[in-house]
Chain A
Amino acid sequence: MKRTVDVSIPVGPVHPCWKEPTRVKCETRGEFVLSAEVELGYMKKGIERIMRGRPWQEVMFLAERVCGICSVIHNMVFIEALEKMSSIEVPERAALLRVIVNELDRMQSHILANFSYCYTIEHETLGMYLLDSREKVLDELERITGARITCAYMVPGGVRFNLRDEDALHLRASMDTLEKEITRYMGMFEHGPLIALRSREIGILTRDAAREACACGPTARASGLPESDRRLKHPTYQKLGFTPVSREEGDNFARIMVRFQEMLQSISLILRCLDTLPVGPIRGGGIPGAGEIAYSGEAPRGELSYFIKTDAAGRVLEIAIQTPSIMNIEACCHYMLTGVASMADVPSTFVSADPCIACTER
């Protein structure tokens, strides 16, 4: 089909709104975007190749360094895959502590994503408020695990550190403050008329399109696909009675609101974990053996899958990581960006899908 295209406008790879380098090439007529294409490959690390031939205690740290924002879930999925492969049991207390740390990590990742979006639509005040809340979450992570981002908290058969009573009290107190703050910021976002002008009805991803593009995570849940949440299949989350949030609109506004709602949901999950935290051991022991497994978990951005093959001594022979962002980037450039009325909405639509380029290129 012949189309009249005025100009192909590149956005990136260096752009003030983007956390990581990538280029979006938009074919436009006037300012109307006819189609878009994403160019990746500015920061390939080859981390899967480095992982090969190494034991779990080395691969665990490499897996964390795949992504700087959602490092805990990489650790968790890798370790849980090894546990499932070698049938290692996890004590109940350790399983709940894992959920606490994972949900804290999800909160800080969602806050950063929403900050990024607010910054892109030029609402820096709300963005800075969100970053202030993120510090509280990171402080809690540091209190429990000893580090803010690369926590290295989970090991086969349990977790590394116990949650102390004084830390549990501190965590409860800051969850209460965070709940108040995030509810307030959510209200600001929901009712702000200028925000609505930049967000509502922009970058629409319909339910069928989301399913076709295999979108996952908050991007899919904003288009009315709550069943895409992998936490529904996780035994600890099932025990906690987890139900995913979802919205029907499928626009930029819905994607950010889903993240806000998930933050509140994370807070309630953490409080539920703290209420039901039993006293007991935090490590069950167990050495990963030979096997082959494909396992996935829910990262802040969607489904994260690990394929692992190990030898009898527990060394990783083959490893393949599939990260959620690649599906969301495809959904973004083929469905959300097509039909965007103004070039100014291109960065904000792209950022609303929360693309993590470090994950995507590994």
Chain B
Amino acid sequence: MSDLRIGVFVCHCGANIGGVVNVPEVTEYASGLEDVVYAKDNLYTCSDAGLREIKDSIKEYDLNRVVVASCTPRTHERLFRNTCEEAGLNRFLFEFVNIRDQCSWVHMQDPESATEKAKDLVRMGVAKSRLLNPMEEIEIDVLPVAMVIGGGIAGMSAAKSLAGMGISTYLIEREPQLGGMLNKLNALYPSHERAVDFIKPVKEAVLNHPKIEVLTSAQIKDIRGFIGSYNVEVQQAETSRSLKVGAIIVATGAQALTPEGFYGYDGQNVVTQLEFEQILADSDKVAELENVVMIQCVGARSEERVYCSRVCCTAAVKNGLLLKEAKPDAQVFILFRDIQTYASDFEDYYFGARDKGVIFVRYAKDHPPEVTDSVVRVYDQLLGVQLGMPYDLIVLSTPLIPHDDAKELATMLKVPLDENGFFLEAHVKLRPVDFATDGIYLAGCARWPSHVGEAVSQAQAAVSRAAIPLLNGRVRVEPIVSRVDEELCIGCELCESLCPFKAIQVKMTDSGRKAQVITASCKGCGACGAACPQHAITMQHFTNLQIEAQIDAMAATMVSGD
């Protein structure tokens, strides 16, 4: 292997790495490693100048391996691989060394050790790079058919938008009718359009669209496959159908918390905001209301549930306004902690409610309101006085919480939930409607409590993301997958039972029972390879030889006592 020519690029990442790790020292060290013919430090390796430098030096120094020591492969590996490819080097002859998360960040208080560790990691990266093999990405076909799970406003909007792009779509709803949460609402804010009037044309458009097939009273039983070809088993009454789709959008919504044990909740005199919607729809009941007191953050922003449910303040403003419009002499108090009417429309709406005489009272988390038989007592933080408000109805704003079976669906889809039980997107900042798993996307309250307009926007965004593979008809996937040596495999099925992606199956072949990998499903996690008692499974790009070379490189200094 004397023809190895390795280039090492060490990134300062401004002060992110360079403020702790002595980058010039690491670069100098790298240049002395065996087979390294070029080593350079950059202020930002990922800048246009840094990338150009990689490309130029691949050509100038005839590099056949490139090692970048910088941040994290999660955000930057693709960029550097593309850069290598543009300069004519196979994209898998690139090795990433993370000296930001693993050195400058975690050893911020100890720059010297951070620098030494960076050298160790670079040496290990160089050792692995020597054994890298060129590989080609795998192309797989994508069936141009989509499935949307959940027939609320997000799901219906997604289906409509997909069909508008010419993509055939299945819309799966477990209830007998479409509409989701909107079926339980009285009116929408800030327009005060009746919810049924709003969703009726949407339902009709979805039900009548030739490209959309709606399955109501339908349960998802099983999901197998991978981007491009999912096989979804759907149960409707006695019949079960197996549907083949290329991509899936999750729009299953959320549910309102039932406030058992809060403020004497009984569903009669003390109701939830959602129950109040039904009262507001009934003019006889509205006529009887004189004094309504609403309490915000019931079961939210508390020790057991830290998060703010985003939609409840605006919902309370809406219902306060609707009551005032129907019965101007009724008293409406909204007891809040922080009013979350962000942006322009909602803030205007909040202003309007105050103009119309809805009274807002700020209370502190540690002085919650007290409900007696006749009055609600609360300490008004802004007036600095204790208030007592008579009531004939108390309305509790409770947060949206995940559906009870969200976990079950997540398990079938093999996607994660966040700490509150909502579906977890690939990146909270820049990939809000993607899952980390290719081919599955997310919209609406299944992700996070959202207003109707926001849910629609997310649904259309999910369509935009899903349309990329669906319209192209194919995707490229990484060849970092496991490979079975059938001569060594004894068909023990240990790998099959461990694979979290159902990507490895033991099948009967001419030479007996052998494990086979479904390349497109394999995520390269390595569980099978680690467990195989026969060492019959090799992880491409993370072979035993490559990993051992890294360990040897790590141990080299320990042995020499360096």
A and B pair up = no
